[in-house]
Structure 1
Amino acid sequence: MEVVAGSLNSLLAEPCRLLVRSIYSRIGNFLKSRKNFIDLQKNIEALVCLRDDLRRELDENERHENLPRAQVEDWLRRTDELHVKVNALPSGDGCRLRYKLSRKLVKLLMEVKQLMEAGSFFENMLVEIEKPKTVEHIPGPSIMGQKTASQNLSKIMELLINDKVKRIGICGMGGVGKSTLVKNLNNEINKMPSAQPFSVIIWATSSRETNLRRIQIQIAERLNLQVKMEESEERIGIRLHKRLEKEKGFLLILDDVWDAIDLDLLGVPRPEDHVGRKIILTSRSLDVCRMMLTDTNFEVIALNDEEAWELFCQHAGRIVEAENIRPLAEAVAKECGGLPLAIIVVGASMRGKSMVALWKDALSALQRSVPLIKGIEDKVFNTLKWSYDSLQDEHIKSCFLFCCLYPEDWAIDVHELVRYWFSEGLLDECLNYEELENRGMAIVQSLRDSCLLEQGTFPNTVKMHDVVRDLCIWMACSSQNRYRSLVRSGIGLTGILKQEFPSSLKRVSFMDNEIESLPDCSVKCAEASTLLLTGNHKLNIVPGSFLQGFQSLRILNLSESKIQSLPSTLVQLGELRALLLCHCYCLTELPCLEGLSKLEVLDCSGSCITQLPPGLEKLTDLRQLDISETPCLRTIPSRTISRLCNLEFLNLVNTAYEWGAKGESVEGHTPFEEVLCLKKLVALYVHLDSIPRLTSNDINWSRRIKSFKLFIGEGVQKHYTRSAVYDDSCVICSGFSFSEEWIGGLLCNAVSLEIHFCLGLNRMLEKLVIDSNKVGCFAALRSLKISYSHGILKPTPEGRVASFDLLPNLEEIYLHFFSKLESISEFGYFLGLRFSRLRIIDVFSCPQLKLLLSVEGTGQTLVKLEEIRIRSCEMLKELFEYPNSGQCLETDCVAPNLRVLKLKNLPNLETLCRHDESWQHLQELEFLNCNQIKKLPLTTQNEHSIMKVSGELEWWNRLEWDNEDMKRRVKNHFVAVDRFGQVIDNADSII
């Protein structure tokens, strides 16, 4: 029994102990519940802080790639859930509630501690992130002391502080120093005070083969972000974008960009979306800058002579100071054309060389475009050649190589260049004349955008930089080149040797030399397509045998020579497309050209031919004929011009020939209707004695002509500039009386109309008004110039006025020497003009002019008007007549965008505008002998836009001002002149 009792006691003892322990535990939890609740609150707060720190570190610094991402995210989730549970605990102090929560508090407290331990482990895995410095110094040469480069740097710094400019393009040819400039820009910002405009400046270099990932890695390294090998460009872009979005402002410099870069794919936030974000890119291609939507493009040009010499001396050393070396050194430096890269390479290669022979050899090599100097080929030519290699196709490359045939520093006429390209077959022969010009212009622009060509000295010209030309010659003269060339232009040659013509030549240029004679034998140039002998003023004979060796010749240019005739062997050149004999003043006749069946361009302008060459009418492929400036040409046989069925360009200005009236047939004279028969004609330059009488069908012909100059009347100044071929399609009338002829038929495509010394002007205007209902307005007309007229330019009481604007796109109006003109408004009323696009008003010597324009009754304003120039109009009292009190203007100002106001010899002009009117864009004011003007049209709104005010001192001192501050500010822009308009030196001391 005792054994059983003992066993039973043993069996009951353990459960009792567990029960008692559980009771004690619950009692303990109950007694500690208040403390546990307080501990839980403290621990959960610490846990939440740790959670927030980890989450922030992950968001802001994605380079913590060592963190176990899945475990951390699971920890964050559990922490969030636990936080919610703790926040959901009920509050209160009752015994029942305390007992109910006691065990839950213990459990939650244990979970908090477990998460704290895990979170502390993750926290220890974080590394210290170094925040990138705002600017990192970039090693490179300094531009200190280089005036041009320093000015460029200042201009770019100004653009950086302009909030309206977000994207800046820096363009320039290879080796001109674009990268050096932006490196100095970066380092200059580094010197600024701590209050810098950007929180970080990022430098990334592109390359010829744009590698988006390579650029992304450079940006990531700058931002202390790690990039994994397996990450895609899209993933890197997302991370970069997220990181850069956190910067208050950044400057991204993309150096040496060859192709447009998609900023979205790159991972760069668009600068337009946030203040303080800017992008600078450097490129050799302006087209790349356009495609990247730059707000402004800044061109870095070559150094001037002084800067180039200083840079050359730095690299060549003191040897250049030697008396026997300096002249040669200066010549060598000049051959580098101000290109820093070439100057540095050539200067370094000549450093310490004291032998005169070595300098002479270097100079000769540079002048012959031969890369014998160490480093020229590898460091200069190959660097520049990248721009050439990047051109779109082989035809454009060949067009570029053609440019090296011109002499050094030559202003290359763009239209002449296009004519060469067309004749050589580089442009699509299916294009018409206008399309060829447009295509050629596009190629020229592409070459300019690639910095392979530069703007020439004159309008519509381009030129090659000296070093680019050297590169071009080097490539063109290579035996492997498809268009192998012989370039001997502009080097003072007096003769040519037969041995100079390799059989594989494609292009030959002896332009602008002193050649007196050509080889009197057949040279072996069977493959040559171009032969340029232009500008050899002493050349008077072309031997017949010489041309026989050029069996494939397509272009022959003998312009500006003294040749008197051409050999009969010329007709053996069956492939000839262009025969150019411009300004051959001694040339009196041409051989029969019937055999040149493929000839498309014939230019005999400026010659002394007395008649057109025999067989011209058989040249049905002829597309361009220029026989202008031929004072001895008096006959053009009937049906010669009309048979040239493919003629597109015809220039007959300033010949001795007189056109027959329409319908008349006189021996030796061609009636003008023959020109009307040319269905493909799109460009015409001709002098007519009177306005041709055109039928309705003829008007359709005039609409087809896209480019023209029609000189009508006696005494008209007959000038023609080929470079203006598309810029100035105009009708110029002079010295005749308008009667029943209708000029409107010639104005359908006219951009400009000039009328000088003509009678019957009102009659002509009335006829325009009457017939306008048949043909409509003259929408192409942009410029109107009328001078030396006694007409009043207003409708007669019984006359008709236009019911709509006959010149809706008129931009410029010039009225000079009108004896009876009283107001431009009357003329405008006559033709229904609203002047909605008028930019320039120029009035001179109109003694009866009392009012410039009236807006009374219309309320219309001249919103496009930018310039007003009025001189010698003694009766003029006011510029504008305003609406009465019951009418309102379309804007608060008659000319809200006026920039320039020039007034001379207007002694009765008293007011310029209303007292409350403000011309907010005024920049330049000029007053001469306008003594009744007492106050300038300046207010606090436009005084800061003024850039120049010129006038006589006495007049300036009498002006009235709203306040002294305004007077003081404007005085800084005042230029004192005398009564003749000449600037007075040292006028500041006597103002």
Structure 2
Amino acid sequence: MNKMVIIILDDVWNRLCLEKLGDPLSVEGYKLILTTRSNEECLKMGCQKLLKVKTLNADDAWELFRKGLGFETQLSPDIEIVAKSMAERCEGLPLGLITLAGSMRGVTDIREWRNALNEFPKDMESDVFKVLKYSYDRLRDTTMQECFLYCALYPEDRKILRDELIGRFIMEGLVKGSSREDEFNHGHTILNKLVKLCLLEATDDWGADAVRMHDLLREMALQITTDKPRYLVRAGIGPQVLEEQDWVSNLDRVSFYHSEIKRIPEGMAPNCPTLSTLILCNCYLTMIPGPFFQYMNNLQVLDLSDNSELMDLPSCISNLESLRALSLRGCEQLKSVPPLGKLKNLRVLDVSYTGIKEVPQGMENLVKLKVLGMGGIHLEELPKEILPKLSHLQYLNLPLCMNAPAEDLTSLEQLEEFAGRFCDLHNFHKFMSSQHKYEKVWCYDIFVGQGNSLHLDTFVLKQRRVIVGDCTIEAATSIFLPRGIDILKIWKCHGLSSCFVENFLSRTTSSRGLTCRIANCDEIEWIVNVPSDRDTTTDPHCISFHSLEVTDLQNLVGLCKGKIASHTFSGLTKFEIRYCSRMKKLFPQAMLQDLKNLEVLYVLGCSEMEEIIGREEGEGSSQSSSTSTIADFPKLKELKLIDLLELKSICEGKLMCDSLEYMKFARCPKLKRLPFYTPTTNERPFPSLRQIEVDDENWWERLEWEQSHVKTLFQPFRSLEEIEDDCWE
């Protein structure tokens, strides 16, 4: 059977050698389509048929323009006449129409519309750049214009992480605020406006918020920056040698972001007295000539990050007294940094993941420093005089091998983001006591324990996480966690018979609740244990769970004991339990009303587990009691029961869970009955179900069912799989 294969090459700028693609046109049935803005490239490629993409007709152009204005922009008949005149001047160019409409979104005053039309160039001649430039000019905010132009320093079509970009805005002094949080809020406000005005596109990069600049808008930005401000941009370009003649004296910003620089000529020293920003990150640099920075006296931002083979820095860096930001992050072979004592204007210093083992000389003089990144370096201690002198620090990331100096940290009253390790709970307590003085919710990634015990984890900022590992915790010890905590991990801790309520306390968790992981704590009997003389229903320090994962708690007998607050588990969406060999009953009946938001339930390798939903104390196994009880998990989507050799019952009564999407059953030989139930009035039972995996066909066929027709409903989704222990996700 002959197949037609079509290869599409989008946005071609230069002639391509088809032989490098395997010469697809020599194969019968293969077709090649390319898009380009250059008719000449079509001719060079030998295209057999040329199709010019026509501009939009008047009706389609108006429809696109009107859509770009948004439904919130109400147009009176008079305004509509002016708006149609503006749309007509875009000559049917889609990007021009979208961008121009974005710049007029929300404008309802006819005088402003008439003024915009009056300012609009009359000689478009299908020149999209003039339309785009007009939208840029309408910003009328120099900071927003500068932030927009700054995005052109990145490679074409690059997804730019918002936090990274705003971090650069902060380095440049483009955004203002009395705190780091205020600066980020200002940065997000600017990016939101640029997205709303269609000058940037909102996107994401592996789930993280990002923006992207359309290649035509980037090209327009580069045209603007040929004059004032003056940019030299060679970002994302292949192997190249720096040429001194490109470095004209009136340059403002230079970017070789993610370019391969084969060589910087020996003795090269560009005369760039106005240059304020130089980005040479991820450029495969191995050396920088000694005099390279000699005539860059106005340099304020120097980014040399991610040059993993760079071993030395020119000593003239020590004389860049205007420098506000110096990033050497990821220069793994860099063993030392020139003296920094003269750089008293420095606000940002990042030496994370470099090879340095000593504090840079003169660092105690950097009294304006706000951001200090030292994560991932082999530095075991800081000289005592340094941190107290850096009183303006807002962001501090210390290496995992260092015991964070709790006493020195207490002097950093402006600290908003912190990552570091405390060797024991005493030092952690000392630091936390100082932070509880301030009514602020900050970002942190804190490890408590010995560094060699925590090698599996790396620091991640922009979250609120505490990891406690390999510590001895006395029964009467109360550990106050930081405000707004998102994630708590407790690992290989000794002396705990329960985690909550007596030991781990929090003034507030995050708004969505706590993600908690507890593993290898052999003495824990209960996750939440409320003493008989205590009522936690109104306790502000009581934890509220969002996700709970427990692993290898060999003495665990139950999740909770005593009178717990209903909100403790009411927000729980995911629960995983593995290898807890003493536990016989997972959920007591009294807990069911608090599990309405549970979406994912995994139970693995609990060798003594007999019931998922336990019977009431004293309840027998009579038919009347089993049929009268209905357990409802309205949001449950995933259920996995694996290696539960003693499991006899999921639920003695009926189990309603109409949101189920996926189930997996393996090696549960004593489970004889599935209690799934759907009311007869339900016309579409289990509408989201897509797969049921089982490891034993005979086991499935012998099962008893609460409702026989449910087996018929499930049958099309069942598949026989060999399910391993390590399939746990």
Q: State if a TM-score over 0.5 links the two structures.
A: yes
Q: Give the whole-Å Cα distance in 1 for the aligned partners of 2:368 and 2:456.
A: 28
> C-alpha offsets along residues 749-802 of structure 1, whole Å, 9 cap, x if unaligned?
322110111111237656438xx6xx8665665111100121233389988756
Which structure 2 residues correspond to residues 452-463 of structure 1 after superposition, within 5 A? 452-460=200-208, 462=210
Contact 2:632/2:656 (8 A) holds in 1: no
Q: Give the whole-Å Cα distance in 2 for the aligned partners of 1:505 and 1:957.
A: 77
Could you tell me which residue of structure 2 aligns to residue 911 of structure 1? 649
Which structure 2 residues correspond to residues 689-768 of structure 1 after superposition, within 5 A? 689-691=423-425, 692=427, 693-694=429-430, 697-701=433-437, 704=440, 706-714=442-450, 715-717=452-454, 724-726=460-462, 728-739=463-474, 742=477, 744-762=479-497, 765=500, 767-768=502-503
Could you tell me which residue of structure 2 aligns to residue 785 of structure 1? 517
Q: Give the whole-Å Cα distance in 2 for the aligned partners of 1:262 and 1:621.
A: 49
What displacement does 1:710 show?
0.7
Q: Give the whole-Å Cα distance in 2 for the aligned partners of 1:408 and 1:658.
A: 43
Could you tell me which residue of structure 2 aligns to residue 516 of structure 1? 263
Structure number with higher strand proportion: 2
Could you tell me which residue of structure 2 aligns to residue 622 of structure 1? 369
Q: Give the whole-Å Cα distance in 2 for the aligned partners of 1:698 and 1:951.
A: 54
Q: What is the aligned counterpart of 2:153 among 385, 405, 426?
A: 405
> C-alpha offsets along residues 234-273 of structure 1, whole Å, 9 cap, x if unaligned?
xxxxxxxxxxxxxxxxxxxx6443572349999xxxxxxx
Provide the secondary structure at the position in 2 that maps to 1:694: helix
Q: Give the whole-Å Cα distance in 2 for the aligned partners of 1:392 and 1:822.
A: 66
What displacement does 1:391 show?
5.9
Could you tell me which residue of structure 2 aligns to residue 934 of structure 1? 673
Contact 2:666/2:696 (8 A) holds in 1: no
Contact 1:477/1:486 (8 A) holds in 2: no
Contact 1:859/1:883 (8 A) holds in 2: no
Does residue 257 (structure 1) correspond to residue 69 (structure 2)? The answer is yes
Larger Rg: 1
Which structure 2 residues correspond to residues 778-927 of structure 1 after superposition, within 5 A? 782-794=514-526, 803-804=536-537, 806-826=541-561, 834-856=568-590, 860-881=593-614, 893-927=631-665
Contact 1:705/1:749 (8 A) holds in 2: yes
Q: Give the whole-Å Cα distance in 2 for the aligned partners of 1:612 and 1:419.
A: 24
What displacement does 1:648 show?
0.4
Structure 1 residues 852 and 534 mapped into 2: Cα distance closer, same or farther (>3 Å)? same
Q: Which amino acid aligns with 1:786?
A: I
What displacement does 1:850 show?
1.2
Q: Give the whole-Å Cα distance in 2 for the aligned partners of 1:404 and 1:842.
A: 46
Q: Which amino acid aligns with 1:257?
A: L
Does residue 952 (structure 1) correspond to residue 695 (structure 2)? The answer is yes
Could you tell me which residue of structure 2 aligns to residue 978 of structure 1? 722
Does residue 496 (structure 1) correspond to residue 242 (structure 2)? The answer is yes
> C-alpha offsets along residues 64-95 of structure 1, whole Å, 9 cap, x if unaligned?
xxxxxxxxxxxxxxxxxxxxxxxxxxxxxxxx
Contact 1:517/1:539 (8 A) holds in 2: no
Structure 1 residues 384 and 903 mapped into 2: Cα distance closer, same or farther (>3 Å)? farther
Q: Give the whole-Å Cα distance in 2 for the aligned partners of 1:433 and 1:607.
A: 25
Does residue 583 (structure 1) correspond to residue 330 (structure 2)? The answer is yes
Q: Give the whole-Å Cα distance in 2 for the aligned partners of 1:542 and 1:557.
A: 16
Q: Which amino acid aligns with 1:717?
A: L
What displacement does 1:385 show?
6.4
Contact 2:465/2:485 (8 A) holds in 1: yes
Could you tell me which residue of structure 2 aligns to residue 658 of structure 1? 403
Could you tell me which residue of structure 1 aligns to residue 163 of structure 2? 415
Contact 1:407/1:490 (8 A) holds in 2: yes
Provide the secondary structure at the position in 2 that maps to 1:476: helix
Q: Give the whole-Å Cα distance in 2 for the aligned partners of 1:967 and 1:766.
A: 43
Which structure 2 residues correspond to residues 54-73 of structure 1 after superposition, within 5 A? none
Which structure 2 residues correspond to residues 181-192 of structure 1 after superposition, within 5 A? none
Point out where structure 2 has 5 or more consecutive residues left out of the alignment.
Answer: 1-5, 9-36, 38-52, 79-94, 107-123
What displacement does 1:809 show?
3.1
Segment of structure 1 superposing worse, 439-448 or 563-572: 439-448
Q: Give the whole-Å Cα distance in 1 for the aligned partners of 2:341 and 2:64.
A: 55
Segment of structure 1 superposing worse, 755-764 or 964-973: 964-973
Does residue 559 (structure 1) correspond to residue 297 (structure 2)? The answer is no
What displacement does 1:658 show?
3.4
Identity percentage of aligned residues: 24
> C-alpha offsets along residues 269-314 of structure 1, whole Å, 9 cap, x if unaligned?
xxxxxxxxxxxxx9969x98xx99xxxxxxxxxxxxxxxxxxxxxx
Does residue 469 (structure 1) correspond to residue 215 (structure 2)? The answer is yes
Q: Which amino acid aligns with 1:847?
A: S
What displacement does 1:203 show?
8.9
Contact 1:943/1:966 (8 A) holds in 2: no
Q: Give the whole-Å Cα distance in 2 for the aligned partners of 1:976 and 1:443.
A: 54
Q: Which amino acid aligns with 2:593?
A: Q
Q: Which amino acid aligns with 2:445?
A: K
What displacement does 1:960 show?
4.6
Structure 1 residues 529 and 914 mapped into 2: Cα distance closer, same or farther (>3 Å)? farther
Q: Which amino acid aligns with 1:783?
A: T
Structure 1 residues 507 and 583 mapped into 2: Cα distance closer, same or farther (>3 Å)? same
Q: Give the whole-Å Cα distance in 2 for the aligned partners of 1:383 and 1:967.
A: 63
Alignment: residue pair count:
615
Q: Give the whole-Å Cα distance in 2 for the aligned partners of 1:609 and 1:810.
A: 41
> C-alpha offsets along residues 583-642 of structure 1, whole Å, 9 cap, x if unaligned?
1122222222222121100000111222222221121111000011111x2342112011
Q: Give the whole-Å Cα distance in 1 for the aligned partners of 2:232 and 2:477.
A: 55
Could you tell me which residue of structure 2 aligns to residue 427 of structure 1? 175
> C-alpha offsets along residues 948-981 of structure 1, whole Å, 9 cap, x if unaligned?
3222350443445577865454333334322338
> C-alpha offsets along residues 163-215 of structure 1, whole Å, 9 cap, x if unaligned?
xxxxxxxxxxxx9xxxx9xx9xxxxxxxxxxxxxxxxxx9994565xxxxxxx
Structure 1 residues 696 and 680 mapped into 2: Cα distance closer, same or farther (>3 Å)? closer
What displacement does 1:680 show?
0.2
Provide the secondary structure at the position in 1 that maps to 2:333: coil
Contact 1:734/1:758 (8 A) holds in 2: yes
Could you tell me which residue of structure 1 aligns to residue 385 of structure 2? 639
Provide the secondary structure at the position in 2 that maps to 1:401: helix
Q: Give the whole-Å Cα distance in 2 for the aligned partners of 1:957 and 1:593.
A: 75
Structure 1 residues 894 and 474 mapped into 2: Cα distance closer, same or farther (>3 Å)? same
> C-alpha offsets along residues 373-403 of structure 1, whole Å, 9 cap, x if unaligned?
xxx9946656766776676844334323322
Structure number with higher helix proportion: 1
What displacement does 1:581 show?
0.4
> C-alpha offsets along residues 22-53 of structure 1, whole Å, 9 cap, x if unaligned?
xxxxxxxxxxxxxxxxxxxxxxxxxxxxxxxx
Contact 1:627/1:651 (8 A) holds in 2: yes
Point out where structure 1 has 5 or more consecutive residues left out of the alignment.
Answer: 1-144, 148-174, 184-201, 209-253, 267-281, 293-375, 660-670, 984-991
Contact 1:738/1:764 (8 A) holds in 2: no
Which structure 2 residues correspond to residues 957-972 of structure 1 after superposition, within 5 A? 957-960=701-704, 966-972=710-716
Provide the secondary structure at the position in 2 that maps to 1:575: coil
Q: Give the whole-Å Cα distance in 2 for the aligned partners of 1:146 and 1:964.
A: 52
RMSD after superposition: 4.1
Provide the secondary structure at the position in 2 that maps to 1:957: helix
Contact 2:254/2:278 (8 A) holds in 1: yes
Structure 1 residues 976 and 880 mapped into 2: Cα distance closer, same or farther (>3 Å)? same
